Amino acid sequence: MNIPKQPVNQRVLKYLITVLIVVGSIWSASGLEITPERFLTAPSKVWILITAMFPLDLSQEAIDRIVPKVGESLFIAWAGTVIGAIFSFPISFLAANNVSLNSFSRATKQVLNVIRAFPELILAFVLLPITGLGPLTGTLAVGIHSIGTLGKLSSEVIEGIDEGPLESIKSSGGTKLNELFFGVIPQVMPTITSYWLYRFEINLRASAVLGVVGAGGVGAELINQLRFRDFPRAGTVLVVTILMVLIVDTISAAIRRRIIKGREIKV
Amino acid sequence: MIKVPKKPLPSLLTIIGYPFAIALTIFSFFQVGFNLEDFKRNWENRKLVTNTLFNPKWEWAIENASQALLETIQIAILASILGCFIALPLSFYASRATNQTTITYLIYKSFLNFIRTIPDLFWAMLFTVAVGLGPFAGVLALIMFSMAIMGKLLSETIDSIDLGPLEAAKASGAKHNQAVFTSALPQILPNFTAYFLYIFELCIRASVILGLVGAGGVGRIIETQRIFLRFDRISPIIVLILVAVIAIEQFSVWLRRKIL
């Protein structure tokens, strides 16, 4: 049987990528002084930590401290997402090249790229001396970062719309503003709302971490308990956080599915 | 007269959802303490930041941070490669299309979901306690991070592959593993490459902050300077990071276009 050969440049590319991956990982591992033995001994060390966490510290005092902190992370994530959603929505129209002017769209996109490049934590500690220790800093950091990411995603949704409805509005005498309100927004709203919820899920993880620099949330609790070697309580912090994230993820995913699929309407 | 169809009644989700979302928003803003009084007082401190932030000390940053920045990039490379290649077989077990055994499917699926719930920096904190401070903890943390994302994305891709080739391979006598290897794997390889590059970008961003909890990389330097409010030393580091991140992203965009 004759099996056709792969074209040469594809084979070359394949070897090139393999070499790139192997060389890249060896270079990195040697630079970081990481040996295979360290990987092999790591699981047993992690196991020691896990066993130290159990039984969890479920005393009333621990719960009273931890649960409000986890709640705070939730509120930071939600408030940050709302800030991101409110500001990114108009910005995304400016950034979409089929709705806004070409030069305008390019400039807005660059601004969004720059905003997106700063991780939340970096934003948080630059804001920290200005807005003070506490959840407000975290909220602003999460919010600003969300403007960047949501703006990019939403503008891409707007760029992908069906131009048909816009044309029919124009041909029946609608203004540019009518086109926006009756042609663009109804088309993009479901996808954009589901992106907001998706961002909320991501922000929840980000806000849990923010406490590390003192910007509110559960992160400070975890790092303190780990520093003081109070592993049962650190375990409780972890478990409560995981539970909260799981619950929120499940609810949010269900709502997103419903928004995208739509409700069955009996006519 | 044209008959306009009636607008359907709002669903239960809308009736409950909107007020709930609005209430949660108001409550959240109260909870995070949007207090104008504090804000005004702290606003006077802004000079602490702005005076130094826009007065970068370039020589210091290049001299002290370039080695750490390299370490950051190495952490991201090693962790994303290892994480993604560990996730590759796992995702076949976590997909309904290639794993018919319900119990193992559920175990792998929930395992991937579970590691996804823990944020990257939490992993880093845990690993610094378990294996000691340093870049190795960061590598382990990012392995978990990239494994979780790759596992989710890839297993969902495998769910939607064309089952025809799989059946054909089985009909010609292939064992299950052989069938998966020869007819499911090639279908998802382009997706795998695209996801890998995406995760690599995420890892580069994530590895910057690992040092804040002592897990290696440039974050360590940022953290020590942050405590002393030396924003004049931090701002050039941030710019260096931005340049590195953007350069790597451009490279990955170029590579993606080349491969796919």
Domain ranges of chain A: 55-160+187-261
Range A44-53 contact pairs with CB under 8 angstroms and sequence separation of 24 or more: A45/B130, A45/B131, A46/B126, A46/B127, A46/B130, A46/B131, A48/B130, A49/A231, A49/B126, A49/B129, A49/B130, A52/A231, A52/A232, A53/A231, A53/A232, A53/A234, A53/A235, A53/A238
Could you tell me if B130 lies within 8 Å of chain A, comparing CB atoms?
yes
Chain A closest-CA separation from residue B162 CA (Å): 22
Taking residues A20-43, report their average pLDDT. Answer: 84
Q: How far apart are CA A172 and CA B169, in angstroms?
A: 57
Say which amino acid occupies A116: R
Q: Which of A183-197, B51-65, B67-81 has the weakest average pLDDT?
A: B51-65
CATH of domain B57-259: 1.10.3720.10
Please tell me the total number of residues recorded for chain A in this structure.
267
Per-residue model confidence (pLDDT) at position B38: 67
The values of phi and psi at residue A173, to 5°, are 95, 15
* Number of A–B residue contacts, CB under 8 Å: 171
Do A129 and B48 form a contact (C-beta atoms < 8 A)? yes
Q: In terms of CA atoms, which chain B residue is nearest residue A213?
A: B212
Lowest mean pLDDT among A31-35, A151-155, A168-172, B36-40: B36-40
- Give how far Cα B259 sits from Cα of A10, B166, B197, Å: 9, 25, 11
| Residues of B whose CB is below 8 A from A212 | 121, 125, 212-213
CATH fold of A55-160+187-261: MetI-like fold (1.10.3720)
Confidence grade of residue A266 (pLDDT, cut at 50, 70, 90): low
What lies within 8 Å, CB to CB, of B235 at 6+ separation is B52, B53, B54, B55, B56
B8 cis-preceded (ω within 30 degrees of 0): no
Could you tell me the pLDDT band of residue B160, with boundaries at 50, 70 and 90? confident
For the cut 70, the answer to whether the pLDDT of residue B176 exceeds it is yes
The closest of B147, B163, B150 to B100, measured between CA atoms, is B163
- pLDDT recorded at residue B260: 66
What is Dmax (Cα atoms) for chain A? 75
Where does residue B120 rank: exposed (0-12), middle (13-18), buried (19+ CB within 10 A)?
buried
Contact B82 A25 (CB under 8 A): yes
- Mean pLDDT, rounded, for B112-128: 89
HEC letters along chain B: CCCCCCCCCCCHHHHHHHHHHHHHHHHHHHHCCCCHHHHHHHHCCHHHHHHHHCCCCHHHHHHHHHHHHHHHHHHHHHHHHHHHHHHHHHHHHCCCCCCCCHHHHHHHHHHHHHHHHCCHHHHHHHHHHHHCCCHHHHHHHHHHHHHHHHHHHHHHHHHCCCCHHHHHHHHCCCCHHHHHHHHHHHHHHHHHHHHHHHHHHHHHHHHHHHHHHCCCCCHHHHHHHHHCCCHHHHHHHHHHHHHHHHHHHHHHHHHHHHHC
**To the nearest whole number, what is the mean pLDDT of chain A?**
86
Check A208 against B33: CB less than 8 A apart. no
Task: Report d(CA B199, CA B151) in Å as an integer.
Answer: 11
- Residues of chain B with pLDDT > 70, as a percent, come to 95
pLDDT, mean of residues B2-20: 80
Q: Check CB contact under 8 Å for A82 and B28.
A: yes
Of B79-88, B121-130, B152-161, B250-259, the one with minimum mean pLDDT is B250-259
Tokens at A218, concatenated: 């559960």
Average pLDDT, chain B: 85
Measured distance CA(B178)–CA(B85) in Å, rounded: 19
What is the spatial distance between Cα B82 and Cα B203, in angstroms, rounded to a whole number?
12
Percent of chain A's residues with pLDDT above 70: 97
ipTM over 0.85: no
Q: What is the pLDDT of residue B243?
A: 85
Mean pLDDT of B219-235: 81
State pLDDT tens for residues A101-123.
888 888 998 888 888 878 888 88
Q: How confident is the model at residue A91 (pLDDT cuts 50, 70, 90)?
A: very high
Retrieve residue A44's tokens.
Answer: 């047993």
Q: Is the pLDDT of residue B86 over 60?
A: yes
Q: Residue A216: left (phi > 0), alpha (psi -120 to 50), or beta?
A: left
Indicate whether A82 pLDDT > 70. yes
SS3 A33: coil
CA distance A24 to chain B (A): 7
Q: Which candidate in B28, B72, B254 is best for mutational testing of the A interface (most A CBs within 10 A)?
A: B28
pLDDT of residue B132: 85
User: Chain B residue closest to A205 (CA)?
Assistant: B119
Tell me which chain A residue has its CA closest to the CA of residue B26: A79
Mean pLDDT of B152-165: 89
Distance from CA of A62 to the nearest CA of B (A): 19
| A213/B71 CB distance under 8 A | no
The model's pLDDT over B211-226, given as tens digits with 9 standing for 90+, comes to 888 888 888 888 888 7
Give yes or no for residue A77 having a pLDDT over 60. Answer: yes
Alpha carbon distance A205, A202 (integer Å): 5
pLDDT tens string A184-232: 898 999 899 999 999 999 999 889 888 888 887 888 888 888 888 888 8
Residue A267: band (very low, low, confident or very high) from pLDDT cuts 50, 70, 90: low
For residues A177 and B45, which has the higher predicted lDDT (pLDDT)? A177
Q: What is the predicted pLDDT for the residue at B36? A: 66
